[in-house]
Structure 1
Amino acid sequence: MTSGPTSATRPRNRKQIIVEAAGQVFSERGYHGASMEEIAAVVGISAAALYRHFPNKYALFAECANVIVDKLVEVVDEWPPEAALRDVLVALTRVTVSHRASGGLYRWEARYLEREDRRLLRTKFAHVVGRVSEMVRREYPLPDELLRTVAALGVIGSVTMHHTSIAQRRIEDLLLASAMRVVATDPAAVVTNTPGLVELPAQPVPRTRRAEILAAAVPLFARDGFANVTNVQIAQAVGLAPSALYRHYPGKVDILVAACLQAAGLLAQAVDRSLHQATDPRQALVALAATYVAYCFEHNALNSVAEAEVASLPADLRRPLIVAQREHIALWEQQLRTVRPELDPRQARLLVHAGFGVVVEAGRALRWQDTPGHRNAVTALVTGALTC
């Protein structure tokens, strides 16, 4: 990050500068990890000056949460209903890429909004989805245009969730091409070249008190966010006194570490099984997609905690988990570049994250209802996002 102008400058657009800086801090550190003092330092003003614009951190956070979505609404409303889908997606992609640094707060941090603010944000996103889905229905009259629309928008939004460095124009071109392939994909079509049914390793049955605590904490973290869950709530969920938790975990953060390690282990085992059965590069890529989709549906709470809360960990505890994530992404890159050798490593990595974006948004649209049909539909859309 770079500091903004000093307080002596007093630019007229200081409030906008504050919101842009805060959005990046919230995106990188999370709502609870960010402080008003840190945001003020990034802007180059005192905390007292920051409070003259926003009475508290929540007010600033709520303002940040609406920046991109308001611009997306503005974009779709500028185009008439008969506009070409590609033109609208180009405009949406440019807005998202230009706000890449602050966009990450939408994926997980928006859950910390108060109910009415969260409802308003969802209404705005629904408006964008509705307008785009009308164009998708007109140009690609296939089943489930709403699912294809949110999946395509997941491709575009995925750029806010990683830091892969590529020229902006190239990012826009890659995301647009991927999103257009997604809307042209029939999610009802059976995915070919899959090596049989995906069999995931079962989540361990909690047979010890430590395992019971972990199993009880994960859904609480997923629902309310790690920072909002107390040791009292976790203890109540397993019928223990809060003080008894410390006999099994030194602190709440250690429960989170255990959850993240369990998620990484289950995913690694599942990937090893699926790739072992594949007989050609494309089959391996489809198997990888099918396995990841199955994992996200079957272990949704565990996966959402692992994805959303890594930033809540101290750096020394976060490092091995980041390494595991990078190894998983590198495996995707390798498989994708075998199928599409024209891609360089950074381009492949960008598309891998686009595939992850499809899973998140399509899964949410399907309310993570774990059925064979839903798994197949999302796998087809992920495959469409990745391959030509």
Structure 2
Amino acid sequence: MTSSSQAPVRRPRNRKAQIAETAAELFCARGFHNVGVDDIAEVVGITGPAIYRHFRNKQEILVCAAEELCALVESVIETGAETGGLDGALRAAAAVALDRRTVGRLYQWEGRHLPEAGRLVFAGRIEKLIRRLRDLLLRSRPALSKSDARYLVLTALSVLASPSTHRVKLSRAKAEAILLAIADDVLGVAELPAAGKAADEPAPGHGALLPRRERLLGEAVRLFNRHGYHEVGIEDIGAAAGINASSVYRHFPGKASLLAAVYYRAAERLNVATNDVLAAAVDAEDALNRLIESYVRLTFDQADLAAVYVSENENLPADDRHALRAAQHQHVDTWVRLVGSVRPGEPAAEVRFRVHAALNAVTDLVRLRASAPTGPERVTTLVDTILRGTR
């Protein structure tokens, strides 16, 4: 057969959606700034210039990915709610979370790379979704305040989204069952402690007496969390710390080494706090109680540091990233051991799913503290529920 008689190669009708979904997976795996248009094109199986037939730039791809994820979640939750009320909506949300596990972190960190208008639209659609679930919860629990119902829904959604933050493997049926059981426990919490007062921003000049290296670390954490690693320069960090940019290099050879120092600082604080808990505990039950309280309070006290710790991992130098991941795994192992002791008979993989759900809830609830009145006591109550369950 001659080439002239061959059927022409046609682009798939869903090419734009395919590009957006592939890009979302890469953004979540490597970080937005670590992915180029050519990287996306290679995975899709097209040339870089072919992407520009659909998108003007990488940020536009991110906007499309966020919109499509929002539209999917909105659609399945509404369908689930129409047929099964709150239970149906949660089941639909759990299914999406597992089906789109590789792009779930889009809601958590990569959304900050959206243009302001896109970010506002994205936030508005998520808030509308939260209110829909809140209203469904209030139908079955009318005595709840709208604020408490919203808070419980936020926590349940964080639980459902948590598989995107880890790689623990479970069968689809087991994973869905444990996520729904935890979400159900969370939405059934009888009483939430009163919300605490939001922490004030540090006053100007706060920390001025610290040594230069410590001031640089503190300002780097704050700026990385506000703007993202790639949007912050050494000059910005130096200026915020009241130090000339050239002097910064006396303490750190570059921005990557400064980021690594931030991570090692966070890992060290977490390790010390955990060891203190284990040393003071009389048994596993007591240790878990102390660990929950210690971890939640540390996350509140070091909110910027905790946020950077879970959001900028892919920007670390490779050797540091591997070393710090090993430390993270050891920390999770401690949680798994203690939770396993209070839930005897539960398979280790299911306990790990439960632990990651709890840790993700802490991250999200502290991260959203400006829009969801919270406090250590509230979060501790919910983490305890996630880990121990009510059944």
Superposition pairs of residues 167-316 of structure 1, within 5 angstroms: 167-188=171-192, 207-316=210-319
Partner in structure 1 of residue 160 of structure 2: 156
User: Amino acid of the residue matched to residue 73 of structure 1?
Assistant: E
Matches of 1:139 and 1:280, distance apart in 2: 38
Any idea what the Cα deviations from partners look like across 1:131-183, whole Å, max 9, x if unmatched?
A: 11112222234451111110011100111111111112211111000011011
Matches of 1:72 and 1:54, distance apart in 2: 23
Gaps spanning 5+ residues in structure 1: where? Answer: 1-6, 191-203
Superposition pairs of residues 49-88 of structure 1, within 5 angstroms: 49-78=50-79, 83-88=84-89
Partner in structure 1 of residue 3 of structure 2: none
Aligned with residue 321 of structure 1, among 319, 324, 328: 324
Partner in structure 2 of residue 195 of structure 1: none
Contact 2:85 2:136 in 1 (8 A): yes
Contact 1:178 1:385 in 2 (8 A): yes
User: Amino acid of the residue matched to residue 218 of structure 2?
Assistant: A
> Once the 2 structures are TM-superposed, how far is the Cα of residue 71 of structure 1 from its aligned partner?
1.4
**Which region of structure 1 is more displaced relative to structure 2, 248-257 or 77-86?**
77-86
Partner in structure 2 of residue 145 of structure 1: 149
> Once the 2 structures are TM-superposed, how far is the Cα of residue 314 of structure 1 from its aligned partner?
2.3
Contact 2:238 2:248 in 1 (8 A): yes
Partner in structure 1 of residue 91 of structure 2: 90
> Once the 2 structures are TM-superposed, how far is the Cα of residue 80 of structure 1 from its aligned partner?
5.4
> Once the 2 structures are TM-superposed, how far is the Cα of residue 40 of structure 1 from its aligned partner?
0.7
Count of residue pairs the alignment pairs up? 367
Aligned with 2:35: secondary structure?
Answer: coil
User: Amino acid of the residue matched to residue 112 of structure 2?
Assistant: R
Aligned with 2:170: secondary structure?
Answer: coil
Contact 2:78 2:89 in 1 (8 A): no
Partner in structure 2 of residue 120 of structure 1: 121
Aligned with 1:84: secondary structure?
Answer: helix
- Identity fraction in percent: 32
Contact 1:151 1:357 in 2 (8 A): no
Matches of 1:387 and 1:231, distance apart in 2: 44
User: Amino acid of the residue matched to residue 136 of structure 1?
Assistant: L
Matches of 1:314 and 1:9, distance apart in 2: 41
Aligned with 2:375: secondary structure?
Answer: helix
- The answer to whether residue 373 in structure 2 is matched with residue 360 in structure 1 is no
Matches of 1:19 and 1:250, distance apart in 2: 37
Matches of 1:145 and 1:279, distance apart in 2: 36
User: Amino acid of the residue matched to residue 314 of structure 1?
Assistant: P
User: Amino acid of the residue matched to residue 269 of structure 2?
Assistant: L
> Once the 2 structures are TM-superposed, how far is the Cα of residue 239 of structure 1 from its aligned partner?
2.2
**Which region of structure 1 is more displaced relative to structure 2, 326-335 or 266-275?**
266-275
> Once the 2 structures are TM-superposed, how far is the Cα of residue 368 of structure 1 from its aligned partner?
8.8
Matches of 2:172 and 2:258, distance apart in 1: 39
Name the larger-Rg structure.
2
Any idea what the Cα deviations from partners look like across 1:189-231, whole Å, max 9, x if unmatched?
A: 59xxxxxxxxxxxxx9974222221122110111001110011
Length-normalised TM-score, structure 2: 0.88
Matches of 2:158 and 2:28, distance apart in 1: 17
Contact 2:66 2:111 in 1 (8 A): yes
Aligned with 2:168: secondary structure?
Answer: coil
**Which region of structure 1 is more displaced relative to structure 2, 120-129 or 234-243?**
234-243
Aligned with 1:66: secondary structure?
Answer: helix
Gaps spanning 5+ residues in structure 2: where? Answer: 1-7, 195-206
Contact 1:187 1:381 in 2 (8 A): no
- The answer to whether residue 353 in structure 2 is matched with residue 350 in structure 1 is yes
Q: CA separation of 1:91/1:80 partners in 2, compared to 1, >3 Å: closer, same or farther? A: closer
* CA RMSD, Structure 1 to Structure 2 (Å): 2.2
> Once the 2 structures are TM-superposed, how far is the Cα of residue 361 of structure 1 from its aligned partner?
2.7
**Which region of structure 1 is more displaced relative to structure 2, 74-83 or 173-182?**
74-83
Partner in structure 1 of residue 27 of structure 2: 26
User: Amino acid of the residue matched to residue 30 of structure 1?
Assistant: G
Contact 1:40 1:46 in 2 (8 A): yes
Partner in structure 1 of residue 201 of structure 2: none
